[in-house]
Amino acid sequence: MPVPLPTATTRWRCTLCGNLTRFDVTRSSRVVEYVHLDLGGEPSVEETEVLAETVESVRCRWCNAVDRVELVDRPGAGDGNGSTESASGSGSASG
């Protein structure tokens, strides 16, 4: 079961404990590095091109559950309708 990847408007949430912020991500990637060596032979990577990248597993730092994350909306994503933190009525209440 692949790990759902967060997007610009979603984030991970541990389905067991509700953790939103701390995860260990096991990631495998295939990259091309431009290695520039100086005259002394000391290498430094000046450019990195990612050819492929895969998230293999995500472990919750709080409860150690593996691959038990779900995607939830980020706060502020979706409606860009002001940002007051008050829960006052939600509109459709008459029937």
Interface residues with Zn ion (CB under 5 A) are 14, 16-17, 19, 60, 62-63, 65
Q: Which is nearer to Zn ion, 8 or 68 (CB)?
A: 68
Shortest distance (Å) from residue 14 CB to Zn ion:
3
Shortest distance (Å) from residue 57 CB to Zn ion:
14
Largest CA-CA distance found in the chain, in angstroms, rounded: 80
* Pairing mode, strands 69-73 and 10-14: antiparallel
Q: Which is nearer to Zn ion, 17 or 71 (CB)?
A: 17
